[in-house]
Amino acid sequence: MKKIISFIVLYLPILSMLVGLQYACNNLDEEITDRIIIDHHFKTDKDYLKVVGPLYTHLYGLGNHGGFFSLQEISSDEAVIPTRGNDWGDGGIWVRAHRHEFHSYDSPVSNAFTFLYAGIGSCNKTIALLKEAVQKGFADSALTDKYIAEIRALRALYYYWAMDGFGNIPVVLEFDLPDNFTPFTVQRADVFALIEQELAEVVPLLEHKNDATTYGRINYYAGKTLQAKLYLNAAVYTGISRWNDCLAACEEILQSGAFALEPNYRDNFITGNANSRETIFAVAFDEGFAPGFNLHMMTLHPASQATYNLEQQPWNGYCSLQEFYNKFEDSDIRKKNFIVGPQFAADGVTPLLDQFTEAGDPDGLPLNYTPDLKDISGLALRQEGARIGKYEFRNGAKLNLSNDMPVFHLADILLMKAEVLWRLDPGNPEALSLVNQVRNRAYEPDQPLNTLTAENLLDERGRELFYEGVRRQDMIRFGVFGNPTQFMPGSEPCKEIWPIPLVQLTAGQNIQQNPCY
Amino acid sequence: MMAKYGNASHMKHTTPHLLAAWLCFFSLQYVGAQSNPVDSSKTDRVAATCGAISSLKSEKFNRGNILDPLQLAQGRVAGFTLARPGSNPNEPFQVRLRGLSSFISATTPLTVVNGIPGVDPGMIDPNEVTSITFLKDASAAARYGMRGAAGVVLLETNKGSEGPLTLDYSAQAALDLAAGRYSVFNAGEFLQNGGLDMSPQSNVATDWQSEVLRAGLAHTHHLGIGGGLGRGHFSVGLNYRVTQGILKKTGLNQYNGQVGIVQRFWKNRLTITGNLLATRRNADPGFPEAFRYAVLANPSSAVKSDDPAFQPFGGYVEAALFDYYNPAAIIEQNASRSRQDRIFGAISAEAQIFSGLSALLRVAENRDNGIAGEFYSPQSKWRSLGANGSLRRIKSTRTNRYLESSLRYQRALSETVRMDLNAGYAWQKLRHHYEDTTTVGVFGLNRESKPAEFEALVLTPANWFGVFSEGNNTLVAYFGRVQMTIRDRYYFEAGLRREGSSRLGYRNRWGNFPYAGAGIDLTKVLNINNFEQLKLRVGYGVTGQQPASDGLSRLVLSPGVLFYYNGAYEAGLGPTLNENPDLKWEEKREINIGLDFSLAHGKIVGSLDYYRNKVSDIIVNTTVPSPPNIAPNTYQNAGEISARGFEAAVSLPELLNGDNFHWSSDLVFQTARVTLDQTGRSDSVSHSSVGAPGFCCTGYGILYDGVVLGEIRGAVREGVNADGSIRYKDIDRDGFINTSEFSKDQAAIGNGMPNWQLGWSNSFQWSRFDLNIFLRGVFGHQLIHEFRVFHENLNTSNTTWNHVITKYFDARVTDFNRFDNTHVESASFLRLDNLTLGYTLPSKNRIRRARFYIGGQNLFTLSGYTGLDPEIRLSDPGPTDNGSRLGASIVQAPGIDRRNTYFLARTFLLGVQVGF
């Protein structure tokens, strides 16, 4: 009896605890609070943005030297990197790029390709991540669809650029590929069809809002602009023009009323230009948080450090060409896209002296940017060349700029619509009025054109969209890309697309080189 | 490869353990040291068990100025290795029990304090430890299942004993002096050999090592009260200790209080045991890197100067050179402080339900709060150049909650057969929280500021950056064990622990850790003369090791680049770690064969053990291709280590036993060989970068499948040419000398792991005098003397740093410094670890005991090694330069004597013990 009482008094609580513990305390679920685990993620828009946002940071590469954007610019007639003495010689790659002597082993070509396909790869990876989250039941499928649409649209932008530059390219739309998969070349017209199909599927799903939350991202209108660009150049890509499809996309953007021309052209390119109502899609740079845009360092002469009180001495590289510079009238505010003439310190009166000036420089010590370049392959003088001043260089600028770089903006839509109308009917009065709407902003008083020709339409685009990475495409569309210019002796039509980089050819056995490389 | 896994319901992986628990009732265990009949003053065995277990009582502990409780057993237990190069009081010891068991998970034994696993022994004052027990092989350590693979150490603290009330006071003073210094050029020699003259106007000659060294003073005090208390006993202890390091501005002080109580109720049928421990440690970790720069600093440079050029550095002479710092400035301008508060509470109740059946319930909690601050003066070149001062604050909190309940049934089945059954359940949750923030441009603080002031400083988001981590770890175990003794000569035991950990992949959360052993006392079976005991035992067991931290099996997204959203830049996330739902524990399988003996009427007692083990499924952070994987890294069970070794412990308790004279001696011996069968890497990879200047990307060794732990690889020197250049051996005979590629002209040129180790202690008693001598030896290992690698040759391109001069110095050599076999030196040593001479006064009425002693630690070291401390380096902290901080140590790379190593001290002691 005593034993039983002891048992009850002493052991029963323990026994009941033991039994209770089986249920309460064998839970081994991991609680992670200091890291993001896929299971606890993907509930709100912000959660998605955390993985979609970084995809846009890859575009910071557009603002830097050496790759896709440089190749677009230097192979056009609006920019060049002259070799001054030994400076910027770089084995002749930039001179060759300007002369359309592209080689599959030149680094700008492989950098451009790698930039685009790394962007495509991270889009594919993030799509795979989101699909995995949905498959495991950790993500909301409606929100996921919306963000996957955005990623596919961004990926379409990369493919559009790749098709524009390289023509016939590999297309990979999946992340988790079978081991034996090797990418293969898709012909340009088929790439066009793939991009068209992708955009047709995803653009309707994109965010229609156009505000601070969509700034720097591909929203509905950015998607529409991409479609417009694709159709505008359809004849180049496929041999079949799609003017009406371009027109429809442009009209939808214009009719939305979401965008308006800034009264002052230059306001689109100032430091902190994120508020421009004209911008449809931009790369949002910041000197600290989003570094990568360093045009001031690339284009200015070292002595110009004193003009802008720059943190570091610039590198004296990119400049424009006299022929192109002369397309601007003196009364055109857009002529301020160039920095020319004698240069002064920040006080505006003290002349800048170039201590390294060459003996043969007629300007001598005082720094004077002259649009006339004597040469681009070694004999160029350090002070020569109109500098690219399209973007404001703020006083005290650091190594990187805080100006956002518009990829698409309204003026381009207006000019595209004008061009399409003109191509459909050269006498269309709306075409002329659209061009003048853009043009008049640059003049005080207005100096409208009276008639539209291929030449003045292309020139107007050149003036308005200088250094926005579209000149090469425009020249090709207007059929003048291979025409000789001052330092470009003329090139065959097959140079309208770049060679596939050699490393890609050796890595992928099913990748073919473009014709004439 | 990225695999596709099932749906979400798999994540809620709960196991129907009720059945398992009940099944377990018919098997094994609990071996808290408390219920374990550990006795005897010798390094001996628990009679009924068959594993390799060594237990040490306080009488056999090491003496001297000891801070880490495990140091009490250094060299005293075969198979136990405790090493710390140099004498930095704030640097933890590296601990191994039977070689290496893992790469990135725990490689140091699980410590169990008063039956509570996972408690850091650093919170106990060594004066309060009464016994340390080592569960060395897997058949013994399997009782701790998921965390037992690196062995288990059980510590018990003082709980007093029955009898009259006693009051004990002991005090000890210690003096630490540098045991050696590096021989370097003086100013004249330095300039003669092309060194940069930093005092062209005057003849400055600075002995930089003297500028940073000091005599370190230490004192400890212990006050203890204990005795019987009704039906129980108790102990209360108060401890205070102050230790100064031999590097200026390093040291610590520690307050500790502890209460241990055992009380019985209901005719001794209920026993309550309680423990409360609280420790506060204030430390000055200082900057041990100052030693490196004290060896290398330019001797023609003054410490301070009035020259306005040095005004920006507060008058300290600095040079704008790579990796060059004024060591006095490092110490005097900056501060590194920490405070750690720890509290431990445990209570257990053991009830006898009826004869033979008892139940145990144990609950415990401990907390550990730490704050550390580092302050860098705006004038300091060290870690502050261009930052206008900087401040670092580290806050950490750890908590450990534990609950265990078990039943034990002991019964004699017959006259000759005794049985002991034990089964139970244990639950533990460990949490941690860690913040490490740095801010630059700090004002209003100086090197005398206290950690609390660091904490009070408001860190504005604009100028701080840091890391943060927190997490928790739940472990649940069911265990059972049966032990049988038949006719006092046959022993048998078997057990199983089924344990789960939250850190494992959800498909592999629960592991089974079985063990079994058998023993036979041959003296009772065969007729063997002179032997009182000759017990042969065999044990086999499986232990595990859980992953190093939580979240390793999950798809982790980590903050990376910033992106623009809604007017601001936000941190974006990118995948950094792939999921591995199959991530399982590391598993160690070990067989141990042992022989315990006692002969000549107990005059020779000892044990021999031979073991072989294999640890498989070792967790490795592998780099995987992406695509197809979403992230570039996955934690996988990919490594394998095997080891075998032999251990011997022999005690001669009565080597001499006269009327007035007594001599006893203990000897322990160990040898082991560890092989990394699978490194978990697809290619052989170089490890342990030599470092700057000049060797950022070459390593001291390579990891390949089958490499013997500790292998050192490098170039082989053939000789020196007439022009002072070094001739290297063309090992691959391709006609070219390429010493930087391991596949070409490199060879295995040494090993950092010892062949064998021994500890030999001798106790003499003569009248009222007692003398203890403890010698510790480590043999057969090599060390890379890194100062020589970088700073031996008289190469003219090196005008910055001083040269380290050893017997290997050859003034003819003017080639570039490059690591080769001549820098790998034998580092075998025999050290007089401890010597104590005591005198006990005759006891008076009121004074129960009074003893005075003098002694020393590390009084001499016999070694051919030309560095300061030939102690083995069990892991490599890696290279640093220009004030960079150390990363995680690599355990696969023993044997590198890095330049940052703290100097070795020699300690002289004076102490008194009084008991009332």
B569: nearest CB among A22, A30, A290: A290
- Phi and psi dihedrals of A394, rounded to 5? -75, 150
Q: Taking residues A266-289, what's their average pLDDT?
A: 92
Helix residue ranges, H only, B721-793: 786-791
Tell if the CB–CB gap between A125 and B627 is shorter than 8 Å.
Answer: yes
pLDDT for the residue A40: 64
pLDDT for the residue B145: 92
Contacts of A18 in chain B (CB under 8 A): 21, 405, 425
Tell if the CB–CB gap between B351 and A11 is shorter than 8 Å.
Answer: yes
Q: Give me the helix-helix angle, A12-24 and B17-24, nearest 10°.
A: 140
Kindly provide the b/e burial profile for residues B687-697, where b requires at least 16 CB atoms within 10 angstroms of the residue's own CB. bbebbebebee
A30: nearest CB among B403, B550, B560: B550
User: CA A143 to CA B713: how far, in whole Å?
Assistant: 55
Domain count, chain A: 1
Mutation pick from B357, B403, B563 vs chain A, by most beta carbons of A within 10 Å, is B563
Tell if the CB–CB gap between B353 and A125 is shorter than 8 Å.
Answer: no
Tell if the CB–CB gap between A29 and B11 is shorter than 8 Å.
Answer: yes
Is A504 contained in some domain?
yes
A14: nearest CB among B405, B557, B561: B405
Contacts of A217 in chain B (CB under 8 A): 565
For the beta sheet containing B53-57, the strands, ordered from the edge strand earlier in sequence to the opposite edge, are: B53-57, B129-135, B152-157, B110-113, B116-117
pLDDT for the residue B470: 85
- Phi and psi dihedrals of B260, rounded to 5? -130, 135
Question: Would an 8 Å CB–CB cutoff place A43 in contact with chain B?
Answer: no
B563: nearest CB among A22, A28, A54: A54
Shortest Cα distance from B355 to chain A (angstroms)?
9
* pLDDT at A199 > cutoff 50: yes
Tell if the CB–CB gap between B551 and A289 is shorter than 8 Å.
Answer: no
Tell if the CB–CB gap between B556 and A137 is shorter than 8 Å.
Answer: no
| Per-residue tokens: A162 | 């790749």
pLDDT for the residue B818: 85
A54: nearest CB among B17, B574, B630: B574
Question: Would an 8 Å CB–CB cutoff place A50 in contact with chain B?
Answer: yes
Q: Taking residues A481-486, what's their average pLDDT?
A: 96
- Phi and psi dihedrals of B284, rounded to 5? -115, 85
Q: What is the pLDDT of residues A300-325, one digit of tens each?
A: 998 898 899 887 789 999 999 999 99
Q: What is the pLDDT of residues A383-399, one digit of tens each?
A: 999 999 999 999 989 88
Q: What is the mean pLDDT of chain B?
A: 87
The most confident of A186-200, B408-422, B656-670, by mean pLDDT? A186-200
Is A274 contained in some domain?
no
Contacts of A215 in chain B (CB under 8 A): 564, 566-567
- Phi and psi dihedrals of B649, rounded to 5? -135, 125
Tell if the CB–CB gap between A29 and B627 is shorter than 8 Å.
Answer: no
> What does the angle CA B785 – CA B791 – CA B796 come to, to the nearest 5 degrees?
155
Q: What is the mean pLDDT of chain A?
A: 91
Shortest Cα distance from B386 to chain A (angstroms)?
16
Give, as one character, the DSSP assignment of residue A277: S
| Per-residue tokens: B25 | 């009732």
Mutation pick from B14, B555, B577, B579 vs chain A, by most beta carbons of A within 10 Å, is B555
Query: Residue A376 corresponds to which amino acid?
Result: I
Which residue would you say has higher pLDDT here, B882 or B890?
Answer: B890
* pLDDT at B26 > cutoff 50: no
Task: Find how far residue A332's CA is from the centre of its chain.
Answer: 26
Helix (H, G, I), strand (E, B) or coil at A247: helix
Count Cβ atoms below 10 Å from residue B886 Cβ, excluding itself.
12
Are the C-beta atoms of residues A457 and A283 closer than 8 Å to each other?
A: no
Task: Find how far residue B324's CA is from the centre of its chain.
Answer: 31
Range of lowest pLDDT (A269-273, B228-232, B912-916)? B228-232
CA-nearest residue to A56 within chain B is B563
Q: How many CA atoms, within 13 angstroms, populate the side-chain half-sphere of residue B219?
A: 5
Q: Taking residues B134-156, what's their average pLDDT?
A: 94
Q: Taking residues B219-228, what's their average pLDDT?
A: 95
Contacts of A11 in chain B (CB under 8 A): 351, 353, 359
Task: Find how far residue B122's CA is from the centre of its chain.
Answer: 11
How many Cβ pairs within 8 Å bridge chains A and B? 175
Is A503 contained in some domain?
yes
Range of the domain at A91: 39-205+482-517
Is A194 contained in some domain?
yes
> What does the angle CA B356 – CA B362 – CA B367 come to, to the nearest 5 degrees?
160
pLDDT for the residue A37: 75
B500: nearest CB among A28, A212, A286: A28
Shortest Cα distance from B547 to chain A (angstroms)?
13
Mutation pick from A12, A15, A23, A28 vs chain B, by most beta carbons of B within 10 Å, is A28
* pLDDT at B45 > cutoff 80: no
Which residue, among A121, A117, A120, has the nearest Cα to A503 in the 3D structure?
A117
Contacts of A213 in chain B (CB under 8 A): 565-566
Is A173 contained in some domain?
yes
Shortest Cα distance from B289 to chain A (angstroms)?
32
Contacts of B567 in chain A (CB under 8 A): 212, 215, 274
Question: What residue ranges do the domains of chain B occupy?
Answer: 685-867+880-915
Kindly provide the b/e burial profile for residues A478-495, where b requires at least 16 CB atoms within 10 angstroms of the residue's own CB. beebbeebbbbeebeeeb
pLDDT for the residue B462: 43
Tell if the CB–CB gap between B551 and A30 is shorter than 8 Å.
Answer: yes
Helix, strand, coil % (nearest 5) of chain B?
A: 10, 50, 40
Question: Would an 8 Å CB–CB cutoff place A172 in contact with chain B?
Answer: no
| Per-residue tokens: A425 | 């009917």
Confidence of residue B743 (pLDDT cuts 50, 70, 90): confident
Tell if the CB–CB gap between B5 and A136 is shorter than 8 Å.
Answer: yes
**Cis amide bond preceding A13, omega within 30:** no
Is A99 contained in some domain?
yes
User: CA B894 to CA B710: how far, in whole Å?
Assistant: 5
Shortest Cα distance from B502 to chain A (angstroms)?
5
Q: Taking residues A430-435, what's their average pLDDT?
A: 97
> What does the angle CA B110 – CA B116 – CA B118 come to, to the nearest 5 degrees?
35
Q: What is the pLDDT of residues A49-85, one digit of tens each?
A: 988 999 999 999 998 898 999 999 999 999 999 998 7
Q: What is the pLDDT of residues B816-841, one digit of tens each?
A: 888 999 999 999 999 999 999 999 99
Which residue, among A76, A68, A74, A73, has the nearest Cα to A483 in the 3D structure?
A76
Q: How far is CA A176 from CA A173, B332, B577, in A?
A: 10, 57, 16
Mutation pick from B266, B564, B578 vs chain A, by most beta carbons of A within 10 Å, is B564
Residue where the block lists tokens 């959360």: B509
| Per-residue tokens: B54 | 């060594």
Is A420 contained in some domain?
no
User: CA A418 to CA A399: how far, in whole Å?
Assistant: 39
Shortest Cα distance from B29 to chain A (angstroms)?
16
Tell if the CB–CB gap between A37 and B563 is shorter than 8 Å.
Answer: no
Count Cβ atoms below 10 Å from residue B272 Cβ, excluding itself.
15
* pLDDT at A293 > cutoff 80: yes
CA-nearest residue to A285 within chain B is B564
Which residue, among B133, B115, B128, has the nearest Cα to B157 in the 3D structure?
B128
pLDDT for the residue B18: 31
pLDDT for the residue A178: 78
Q: Taking residues A493-497, what's their average pLDDT?
A: 96
- The answer for A 53-72 residues in CB contact with B (under 8 A) is 53-54, 56-57
User: CA A253 to CA A265: how far, in whole Å?
Assistant: 20
| Per-residue tokens: A61 | 């590469």
Tell if the CB–CB gap between B11 and A215 is shorter than 8 Å.
Answer: no
Helix (H, G, I), strand (E, B) or coil at B575: strand
Shortest Cα distance from A295 to chain B (angstroms)?
20
Q: What is the pLDDT of residues A144-157, one digit of tens each?
A: 999 999 999 999 99
Tell if the CB–CB gap between A53 and B572 is shorter than 8 Å.
Answer: yes
Give, as one character, the DSSP assignment of residue A310: -
**Torsion over CA: A203, A204, A207, A208 (sign):** positive
Confidence of residue B132 (pLDDT cuts 50, 70, 90): very high
Q: What is the pLDDT of residues B494-536, one digit of tens each?
A: 999 999 999 999 999 999 999 999 999 998 888 888 888 899 9
User: CA A123 to CA A131: how far, in whole Å?
Assistant: 12
Tell if the CB–CB gap between B555 and A132 is shorter than 8 Å.
Answer: yes
Tell if the CB–CB gap between B476 and A121 is shorter than 8 Å.
Answer: no
Tell if the CB–CB gap between B471 and A34 is shorter than 8 Å.
Answer: yes
Is A111 contained in some domain?
yes
Q: State the ipTM, two decimals.
A: 0.78
Can you give the pTM of this predicted structure? 0.78
Q: Taking residues A86-90, what's their average pLDDT?
A: 82
The beta-strand segments (E) located in B249-356 are 251-265, 270-284, 335-354
User: CA A15 to CA A20: how far, in whole Å?
Assistant: 8
